Amino acid sequence: MAFQPEPVQEPASMLAPEKQAMKARKMWVDSLLRIMKSKTSFIGLLIIALLLITALFAPLIASHDPAAQSIVDRYQPPSGKHILGTDELGRDIFSRIVYGTRISIQIGLIAVGISLIIGVLLGGIAGYFGRWIDQVIMRIIDIMMAFPSILLAIALVAVLGPSLRNAMIAVGIVGIPQFARIVRGAVLSVKETEYIEAARAIGAKDGRILGQHVLPNCLAPIIVQATLSIGTAILDAAGLSFLGLGAQPPSPEWGAMLSDGRAALQTAPWVITFPGIAIFLVVLGFNLFGDGLRDALDPRLKQ
């Protein structure tokens, strides 16, 4: 999925710096406008914005203390007092879901951050330097991809010990290969362009060329992958928590809430209904927005 920069009239290197910056900004503004025009990606953006607002103002939005237990109120169905009902310890499910947004954002950012930083580094180095370095790195990536990702994550958490932190690390590690492959592909196509040759001709060092010229021009596919990966990371981490390998009780992490509510499936189905819907909506939001970004940033896919 190589990203081709929009054709410019004159070589970028001949433009004044401020003009260059303007051109770059215009490309991003154009892309953003294109995203806003698409109904689906706008819905995605809306969901993400809602998620961020909820996380930021959680104490104002939540109707109860998410940790407050009340045995007399356990397993209350949704009502005026508890709009989404209560769980086995009488805690307010709505408030727990509201506070859970913070954990989801944390998981998404940290796990994808790990995949992104390591993946971009490995892919960038492999693509830029080629030869044996490329061979070694890509064979390691191949081996990592020989494992079904959720299984590798389960195995990693199994040995590291179950906790939210280890679940984020595990989900982050299994996401590395995708970034590495995408970045390598993008770097391979960018490094053959004339402006890279020009940079080399004026004596720029490899590190500078890679960091200042090559990687910034591979940003589009990286951003698309990162957006789509946040959804997957939240889903995988919720799965780990559901299995008891991620966030531990009494954390209001959504997967852990589902795990807690499983025992009462027959009598109090609302305990598992709403955290599941929350996971679904957030993952949907990132998928919608990611798809929109891809269409907007990759002109070849434009219909």
Partner 1 sequence: MLKYIIRRLAMLIPVLLGVSLITFSLIHLIPGDPARSMLGEKASQQQLELLREEMGLNDPFIVQYGRFLGHIAQGDLGTSIQKKEDIASQLMEKLPATMELAIFAMILAVIIGVLAGVVAAIKQYSWFDNLSMTGALFGVSLPIFWLGLMMIWLFSVKFNILPPSGRLTAGVELNSITNFYLLDSILTGNWTAFKDAFSHLLMPGVALATIPMAIIARMTRSSMLEVMRQDYIRTANAKGLKKGLVVFQHALKNAFLPVLTVIGLQFGLLMGGAVLTETIFSWPGVGRYVYLAVLGRDYPIVQSAILVIAVIFVLVNLLTDLLYKYIDPRIKYN
The contact set with partner 1 (CB under 8 A) reads: 40, 139-140, 142-144, 146-152, 154-161, 231, 235, 238-239, 242-245, 255, 258, 262, 265-266, 269, 272-273, 275-276, 279-280, 283-284, 287-288, 291
How far is it, in rounded angstroms, from Cα 195 to Cα 152? 40
Nearer to partner 1 (CB atom), residue 109 or residue 152 = 152
Q: How far is the CB of 49 from partner 1 (least distance, A)?
A: 17
> Helix, strand, or coil here: 91?
coil
Amino acid making up residue 294: R
Mention every residue, 6+ apart, whose C-beta is less than 8 A from residue 33: none
Find residue 86's DSSP bridge partners: 92
Q: Are 223 and 27 in contact (CB under 8 A)?
A: no
SS3 for 239-251, per residue?
Answer: HHHHCCCCCCCCC
Mention every residue, 6+ apart, whose C-beta is less than 8 A from residue 211: none
Q: How far is the CB of 105 from partner 1 (least distance, A)?
A: 17
Nearer to partner 1 (CB atom), residue 97 or residue 214 = 97
Token pair, residue 132, equals: 């044996």
Nearer to partner 1 (CB atom), residue 175 or residue 190 = 175
Nearer to partner 1 (CB atom), residue 108 or residue 255 = 255
Nearer to partner 1 (CB atom), residue 94 or residue 128 = 94
Q: How far is the CB of 84 from partner 1 (least distance, A)?
A: 15
Q: How far is the CB of 168 from partner 1 (least distance, A)?
A: 16
